[in-house]
Structure 1
């Protein structure tokens, strides 16, 4: 996570017009041995620097974006990395049996981002296996969201009372978020309808 923070920090500060080299971010072998405490301090320091850079830039500052249909602004990355950091924190807490507390408003925004990104047409280009999800009668309601897989692209939008769905999954926003990110199963949630479709959709369309 620390290298990711350094990577974005540099791009925000330079208002990058293209993707910066991400070799260091993807190399998981540590370059400098650190104790657990040192690693924690290193990550917190990098996160603090990134927060400073984001605030100095402001949400509307222009910069490179990997998705041409999304706004090319600092706000995109501020939101993306807030939720990315939340999931990394969750990954650190769960193996230790620590309680994961997610503010409902943060969880709702993370769910909204998950749906907005997952429903982009280019996602079928980046992840062609997701086309296997498409077919007649394949509709879901996930919390406040409606997912329509019956056409040539995936459609994610706000649910309406008259939506006909094959499966519904509902529950508190933090529990839904952890389920969609595959950090928890559906036990805290209420599932009605085609569980197999829900499981298939989450497995194929979820973020790692």
Structure 2
């Protein structure tokens, strides 16, 4: 594992992916198009989700480290396309301004209490970048122009997902296992599954029980269910991945 993106880079890239998302919304033939990767949503629904989510997280960050839940928002997405674009820009500005004012080390309410990601504004920024990047991919695929996640975002995204959404102190209910993830750009991560939970760390000489290999973008898309597992190279015992996909640590 290597050093993660700096806080200033996270904020810059949130703005960059937000601009890319807004460009898709502005150019889409119809906002009523169904999002293939989120079939319960239209492109307008996706835009509304993005905007309300950014406003809510901006308020959560601004609420400070003593907040005990995610803030709600009364923000409503406008139907007019030009107004929608401006509203999306405002939501991103609110989030980035709140994060910048708070700084990376200040505490913040988060939903990932059992993970390896800290409860800080820096971790919120890191996760929000990935949310924005994946949903930009969703928007692009809706209009037929899907693009891989930018490399620096995707490489950070593999580790961010593993730290935030995979790592847990909840006991793994099966035989202990080791799963490796290899990005073709040259980085790798190891997940150890045991009665102590799921812990992410660097590779060791120990052989893995199962591995997944692909570009960093493919691995992030794989994690979020945006592509078929067949799109990445899976090796080792396939039953480990079956159990991992079915595992609900909160159950």
State the TM-score bracket (shorter-chain normalisation).
Answer: 0.7 to 0.9
**CA distances 1:48-72 after superposition (whole Å, capped 9, x unpaired):** 2211222222212333344456534
Q: Over the residues paired in the alignment, what is the CA RMSD in angstroms?
A: 2.8
Residue segments in structure 2 that go unaligned for 5+ positions in a row: 1-49, 183-187
Is 1:86 the counterpart of 2:133 in the alignment?
yes
Kept after mapping to 1: 8 A contact 2:56/2:72: no
Residue by residue over 1:94-145, the C-alpha shift from the partner in whole angstroms, topping out at 9 and shown as x without a partner, is 2222222312221121111111122121xx3xxxxxx6x5322533212212
Match of 1:171 among 196, 199, 214: 214
* Alignment pair present for 1:147 and 2:194: no
CA distance, structure 1, for counterparts of residue 112 and residue 176 of structure 2: 29
TM-score by length of 2: 0.65
Q: Which moved more, 1:164-173 or 1:185-194?
A: 185-194
May I ask how many residue pairs the two structures share in their alignment? Answer: 192
TM-score, scaled relative to structure 1: 0.77
User: Where in structure 2 are the equivalents of 1:24-103 lying within 5 Å?
Assistant: 24=73, 31=76, 34-68=79-113, 70-103=117-150
Contact 2:177 2:240 in 1 (8 A): yes
Change (3 A) 1:202 1:82: same
The structure carrying a bigger strand percent of its residues is 2
| Cα pair distance change 1:202/1:21, threshold 3 Å | closer
| Contact kept? 2:54, 2:95, Cα under 8 Å | yes
Q: Bigger relative contact order, structure 1 or 2, given CA contacts below 8 A and separation 6+?
A: 2
From 109, 117, 120, the equivalent of 2:168 is: 120
Shift in Å at residue 201 of structure 1? Answer: 1.6
* Displacement of 1:31: 4.9
The CA deviation at 1:182 is 0.7
TM-superposed deviation, 1:47 = 0.5
Q: Is the 8 A contact 1:137 1:166 kept in 2?
A: no
Hey, what does 1:109 align to over in structure 2?
156
Which of the numbers 183, 198, 202 marks the counterpart of 2:226?
183
- Distance, in Å, in 2 between the alignment partners of 1:139 and 1:68 is 23
Cα distance in 1 between the residues matched to 2:137 and 2:229? 17
**SS of equivalent residue, structure 1 residue 168:** strand
Shift of 1:154: 2.0
2:4 aligns with none
Give the superposition deviation at 1:20. 4.9
